[in-house]
Amino acid sequence: MDFDDTPDEAAYRARVRDLLAEHAADLVHLDAGEEAGDAAEQEQALRRTQRVLADAGLVGVAWAAEHGGQAGSLAQQAIVGQELARARVPALINHIGLGMCGPTVVAHGTPAQHERYLARLLRADDVWCQLFSEPASGSDLAALRTTAVRDGEDWVVNGQKVWTTLAHVADFGILLTRTDPGKPKHAGLTMFVVDMHAPGVTVRPLRQMGGQSDFNEVFFDDVRILDSERLGEPGEGWRVALTTLLNERVAVGGGGNDLGLSVESLARLAAAKLPGLTPERRVLARQAVGRAAVAALGNRYTGYRRLTAISQGGLPGPEASAGKLAGTAASRLVSDAGVRLLGDDAVFAVGTGDDGTGEDGAGRWQRNQAWLPGIAIAGGTDEVLRNIIGERVLGLPPEPREDKHRPFDAGSRA
């Protein structure tokens, strides 16, 4: 993608703006970081908004037509994201489903699963979550302990997941389980689609330090899943999970998208705050804003180049890990500079609007700053991503992994 739109992209952008203007009355409008007062009402409003956008052809833009998408390009999908932000339409409620679960079902699901799930996912009739992380496995995802045991036509699942985004509103999830503990940890895994309303599924929201409850604990107690809900072959779960993870790292910053508040929001805040600072502080503030802008725009344009390569037939590869790492770092610089510009107002959660004059106590710059450490973990911690870059991009020797070929039940975590 060029920094400027091509004539075709400019025409597409104009069409998107026209569609958003046409449906403006039916869409939720919130500034980045802003939340409605009632969480349940906001959830329903966001579901309606995604439905309106889907019917207008603005969801699943790069998905194949046979799966309910628009058969467009990733560049067009990025344009839709930019125009939604410009129109103050918040991130789609089913972003986990669209960016990670849906592509996994497309790649590894059966035709019956495609028919059953994809159209409803695009319209947010069903919201999805991704059930990977566990308390005992940490960053070593393949060390997970949630089990699925075959019982006739069913599998019986027991265990716990954690840090599961959107589980509290999700209707379905993709669930990675251990089905053969006698094999090495990467070889004994199997993936399923799980109904989040099934008997035995318990979801407990976690309160984050910024006040949000985006993440959840999920418990599985004798949950029965039909074998027809399996994604891929038994024991092939790690290969299926890699599809999810590679798409996740593109979706979480690796595609050049902003994570939280944008650098344009920071520029507006700086324009309002700089005149009130002493000359000495003004210099320091400009340097902080400049560092954040360079990092954010560098990541944005590098992400566009990555999307262009994928649009031309490439697959999300380990370079997406570098993009996710850079995107998180850039977002932290933007958020930290925003909070510093607020000065004493940051302590009292006031003055947080884009013009720096809001007195509503929203505290969105502070909440964004407190939210980002969680994003640094999602989709692989910074340390895991650095290992991937070192081993798969730079060709450095891998870390010693004594348990890689040992049966999991022989003490893989000893």
Dihedral through CA 50, CA 51, CA 56, CA 60, nearest 10? 60
3-class DSSP state for residue 207?
Answer: coil
Residue 202, SS3 per DSSP: strand
Torsion of CA 323, 324, 327, 328, to 10 degrees: -150
248 catalytic? Reply is yes
Cα separation, 43 vs 35, in Å, equals 11
Q: What does the alpha-carbon distance between residue 382 and residue 31 come to, in Å, rounded to a whole number?
A: 28
| C-alpha span between 411 and 242 (Å, rounded) | 24
Residues 6+ apart with CB under 8 A from 111: none
Cα atoms found within 13 Å of the Cα of residue 46, Cβ hemisphere only: 21
For residue 30, count CB atoms less than 10 angstroms from its CB and return exposed for 0-12, middle for 13-18, buried for 19 or more: middle
Amino acid at 145: R
Question: What is the spatial distance between Cα 159 and Cα 80, in angstroms, rounded to a whole number?
Answer: 39
Contacts of residue 22, Cβ cutoff 8 Å, sequence gap at least 6? 56
Range 291-319 burial, b when 16+ CB lie within 10 A, else e: ebbebbeebbebbbebbbbbbeeeebbbb
Q: Which of 83, 134, 229, 248 is catalytic?
A: 248
First to last CA, the chain: 48
Give me the active site residues, please: 248
